[in-house]
Structure formats: C-alpha cells, structure tokens
C-alpha cells in the first residue's frame, strides 16, 4: 500500500470519527420514528 493510500485511509477514518461524534443517538432514533410515521401515512 502506498503512502498516499495510507494517508487517504487515515483521513477517511478521521472524517468518520468526527461525523460519529456529531450524531446524537436519541435524535437519530426520533428522526427515524418520524420518517417511519410519515412513510406509513403516505
């Protein structure tokens, strides 16, 4: 694996980590419930 490929993988891992920390599990669950209710009404 080249150095650039390794650096790219590290960048991807860091970006995923940042996104994971921004997501609130409770809010994500509530949004999922709202989406399901909307789908059932449609």
Give per-residue pLDDT as tens, 2-19.
999 999 999 999 999 998
Mean pLDDT, residues 19-31: 90
How confident is the model at residue 27, as a pLDDT? 92
Q: Using 50, 70 and 90 to split pLDDT, how confident is the model at 20?
A: confident
CA distances from 16 to 5, 9, 26, 37 (A): 17, 11, 19, 29
Greater model confidence, 25 or 32? 32
Q: Which domain holds residue 22?
A: 3-40
pTM score of the predicted model? 0.51
pLDDT the model gives residue 36: 97
How many domains is the chain built from? 1
């Amino acid at each position: 694996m080249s150095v650039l490929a390794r650096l790219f993988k590290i960048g991807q891992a860091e970006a995923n980590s940042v996104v994971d920390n921004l997501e609130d599990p409770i809010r994500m669950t509530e949004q999922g419930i709202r989406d399901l209710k909307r789908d059932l009404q449609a």
